[in-house]
Amino acid sequence: MSDFLTDHGVVVALVCAGLAVLYGLLTTRSLLALSPGNERMQFISNAVQAGARAYLNRQYSIIAVVGVVLFVALIFIQDISVAVGFAIGGILSGAAGYIGMNVSVRANARVAEAARSGPSKALDVAFRGGAITGLLVVGLALLGVAGYYGVLTWIFDESPKDSVDALIGLGFGGSLISVFARLGGGIFTKAADVGADLVGKVEAGIPEDDPRNPAVIADNVGDNVGDCAGMAADLFETYAVTAVAVMLLGVLQFPEGAATNAAIYPLLLGGVAIIGSIIGTFAVKGANVERALYQGLIVSGVIAAIAFYPITEWLMDGVEGFGVGDLYLCALIGIAVTALLFVLTDYYTSTRFGPVKKTAAASQTGHATNIIQGLAQGLQATALPAIVLVFGIWGAWELAGVYGVGIAVMGQLSLTGLIVALDAFGPITDNAGGIAEMAELPEEVRNVTDPLDAVGNTTKAVTKGYAIGSAVLAAVVLFAAFLDELHREGGTDITFGLEEPPVLMGLLVGGLMVTLFAALSMEAVGRAGGAVVEEVRRQFREKPGIMEGTDEPDYERSVALVTAAAQREMIIPSLIPIVFTVIVGLISVQALGGLLIGVIVVGFFFAVLMTAGGGAWDNAKKLIEDGAFGGKGSEAHAASVTGDTVGDPFKDTAGPAINPMIKVANIVAILIIPIIT
């Protein structure tokens, strides 16, 4: 069997990836066969679809221009195989987000219609919609990495090392799409959300998702292009980049005879995990929505954990310096880190626990105390995840060195399919509730969609915690690969001691990159959101019949306004990890190493602070809206809306976009090694 896997392991990985894509296609077919509801529901759903397509088409056209420039540059900096890999990574990452978004915006009306039959049916439809995106993300990522590696080794007879070098370009292509998708989608969704809430809820006193709000369609569009397409692109590139980084470490650190096995090993871990994810989707059943979703995740994790051992034994048994049991334990550490990050993020962002309750209680004494408490919770939320990652890295390092850390990340990413499914579940159920409100469906429908939406808010928060943790561990592996490549190309060991001024300078620049990136992202939301506020106020002022229901709001104008603003605002922040990294690398290699360390450390703390703090503000508002501390219309509610408005760009724009930014900097550093050594 070990000989078979050595000779045909890439084929096995491709078959597993193909099964994920096949699952996505078959599930899409069965989902679209369901009823999309009455004429009004279909009109609203079609409007959301049109807005989301228009946004992504415009976004990808802008990215294509940047991509062409980088494609040509990579031919001269590296070679044509790296440039082709870059194109493959960008195309597959964009496809994963685009296809997933298209399924989500069609599933929303079907979930609202299914809610007429009760929560179990609505849960099934919503989760299947999310699972399509999740399995396509891992399927396309593994298909791209394993397929391109196979083409280079089989057809062009490249060595494992040269083939993996070309795959670095594929990872860069995925990362470029990811940072644009995360940032642009985050600006869109939060600008629309802020504009809709400030004028609708606070000034006009109308409910969320009220059809009289001119920004309500833009808000629903934003849920999909931000949370669905953005998360899909984010975890696509994390999955692909990590697999490539572990393959690179394998071919650099293992002797020639074992290098092929070390390169194939992470691909097969990902392949068997896909089988576990597909089986796990069928375990999502039951009346308790949150329990049903998490039991699917647990089943997937258990199957992956069991399957990892025979794969490890067949491929890595007898490899000098690495025990089968040690590598297997590294993979289990990755799964354990995922579980702990889930629990911790849930604790800091769920309405069931103290942090959110404290933030809600602080709203009773005003807007300022709500902001202070929410910010404090975000800062506190960084401590325990950092400790989990420290022990995870330490454990894997002790067992199998930096290659073991890479295997731990692959173990963590084994759950990506179900994680993305849980994330996409959020915008699908959110939109379903919006359609039910705007289409004036019976109250019992909202009684089904609202609890689903509440769970969706929690799953979106915990998946962001997972994405941040995996980004940090992936960046550690990338940094190790950078050091190995630097040594191989330069022929000498370069140290990065704090007593050396260039390293300290680089550390400061790396931290600067994160804070500047976050600041520009937040400002972008503020400017775009302000434009939405003015537009909604204008329509209310010029069309007084909107509030009486005798005049129709101009939804398309709001969507077009936010689309243009998001595309304009995303460009400069997205270029920060590329431009700064190249400039510093050309000046000093030691400073570049310091920069990468600074980006990883500062980026982790800022990302957790922003996503956890924003999640606490969001759910504190929902807790009050459910009746706590005076309920809707109270002073506490007004303060919580302010906190949620501040938290929105924290948790859905700047925070999540830091993840791909960290990895872009590390990948660019590897790619420019030929011109800096």
499-521: buried (b, 16+ CB within 10 Å) or exposed (e) per residue? Answer: ebebbbbbbebbbbbbeebbebb
What's the average model confidence in pLDDT over 503-525? 93
- Provide the pLDDT for residue 87: 94
Per residue in 346-377, pLDDT (tens digit) is 899 888 888 999 999 999 999 999 999 999 99
What is the rounded distance in angstroms from the CA atom of residue 57 to the CA atom of residue 221? 13
- Provide the pLDDT for residue 1: 47
What is the rounded distance in angstroms from the CA atom of residue 447 to the CA atom of residue 602? 42
Residue 207 gets which letter from DSSP?
A: P
Higher pLDDT, 106 or 7: 106
What's the average model confidence in pLDDT over 509-515? 95
Residue with tokens 């804070």: 515
What's the average model confidence in pLDDT over 616-643? 88
What's the average model confidence in pLDDT over 16-20? 94
Residue with tokens 């209310």: 540
**8 A C-beta contact, residue 72 and residue 78:** no
Q: Give one word for 359, left, alpha or beta, with left for phi > 0 and alpha for psi -120 to 50.
A: alpha
- According to the per-residue pLDDT averaged within each range, which of 249-253, 509-513, 518-522 is highest? 509-513
- Provide the pLDDT for residue 591: 94
Going by C-alpha positions, the residue among 384, 648, 655, 647 that lies closest to residue 514 is: 655
- Provide the pLDDT for residue 342: 85
Q: Flag whether pLDDT at 407 surpasses 90.
A: yes
* pLDDT category of residue 234 using cuts at 50, 70 and 90: confident
Going by C-alpha positions, the residue among 322, 344, 319 that lies closest to residue 331 is: 322
- Provide the pLDDT for residue 408: 93
Q: Flag whether pLDDT at 127 surpasses 50.
A: yes
Contacts of 154 (CB under 8 A, 6+ apart): none
Contacts of 343 (CB under 8 A, 6+ apart): none
Q: Flag whether pLDDT at 2 surpasses 60.
A: no
Q: Compute CA distances 177 → 68, 201, 381, 599, whole Å.
A: 13, 34, 29, 19
Higher pLDDT, 255 or 624: 624
What is the rounded distance in angstroms from the CA atom of residue 20 to the CA atom of residue 236? 14
Q: Compute CA distances 523 → 187, 191, 526, 566, 622, whole Å.
A: 10, 11, 5, 11, 25
What beta strand segments (E) does 515-631 contain? none
What's the average model confidence in pLDDT over 31-53? 85
Residue with tokens 């390293």: 503
Q: Flag whether pLDDT at 79 surpasses 50.
A: yes
609-628: buried (b, 16+ CB within 10 Å) or exposed (e) per residue? Answer: bbbbbbbbbbbbbbbbbeeb
Residue 384, CB-side half-sphere exposure with 13 Å CA sphere: 16
- Provide the pLDDT for residue 261: 84
- Provide the pLDDT for residue 389: 94
DSSP string, 175-228: HHHHHHHHHHHHHHHHHHHHHHIIIIIIII-PPTT-TT-TTHHHHHHHIIIIII
Q: What is the mean pLDDT of the chain?
A: 86
Per residue in 663-674, pLDDT (tens digit) is 889 999 998 988
- Provide the pLDDT for residue 491: 61
- Provide the pLDDT for residue 96: 83
**8 A C-beta contact, residue 550 and residue 213:** no
What's the average model confidence in pLDDT over 252-258? 76
Residue 376, CB-side half-sphere exposure with 13 Å CA sphere: 13
- Provide the pLDDT for residue 391: 95
- Provide the pLDDT for residue 193: 78
Higher pLDDT, 261 or 506: 506
State the sign of the Cα–Cα–Cα–Cα dihedral 625, 630, 633, 638.
negative
- Provide the pLDDT for residue 626: 83
- According to the per-residue pLDDT averaged within each range, which of 56-70, 289-303, 328-342, 477-491 is highest? 328-342
What is the rounded distance in angstroms from the CA atom of residue 426 to the CA atom of residue 130? 8
- Provide the pLDDT for residue 161: 78
Per residue in 385-405, pLDDT (tens digit) is 999 999 999 999 999 888 899
What is the rounded distance in angstroms from the CA atom of residue 164 to the CA atom of residue 170? 10
Helix, strand, coil percentages for the chain (3-state, nearest 5) = 90, 0, 10
Token pair, residue 545, equals: 């019949």
- Provide the pLDDT for residue 269: 93
DSSP string, 429-497: HHHHHHHHHHTT--HHHHHHHHHHHHHHHHHHHHHHHHHHHHHHHHHHHHHHHHHHHHHHHHSS-----
**8 A C-beta contact, residue 438 and residue 44:** yes
What is the rounded distance in angstroms from the CA atom of residue 150 to the CA atom of residue 444? 53
What is the rounded distance in angstroms from the CA atom of residue 184 to the CA atom of residue 520? 12
